[in-house]
Amino acid sequence: MEVNVNGTWLCSRVVTSYMQQAGRRCIINIASTLGLVGLANRTPNASGKGAVVAR
């Protein structure tokens, strides 16, 4: 879960200054459908993907 949530946030934070210098300001984060519909044995993965979708 830490990679899904913190990794997404840290990468977005790092590229923000470069994007502003280039005049671009659009970050699109992609997560699997597991973030919207959880499965029985995939709770940690589903919660991490759900956090990315919620942002």
pLDDT digits (tens, 9 = 90+) for 4-37: 788 888 988 999 989 999 998 888 888 788 778 8
Contact 34/49 with Cβ under 8 angstroms?
Answer: yes
54 pLDDT tier (thresholds 50, 70, 90):
confident
Residue of 6, 1, 2, 9 lying closest to 45 (CA atoms): 1
Q: What is the pLDDT of residue 18?
A: 92
Sign of the alpha-carbon torsion through 43, 45, 47, 53: negative
Q: What is the pLDDT of residue 55?
A: 64
Domain count, the chain: 1
Over residues 41-49, the mean pLDDT reads 82
> Could you give the CA distance from residue 31 to residue 50 in angstroms, rounded to a whole number?
8
pTM confidence score: 0.64
| Enclosing domain of residue 19 | 2-54
Residue of 54, 53, 37, 45 lying closest to 2 (CA atoms): 45
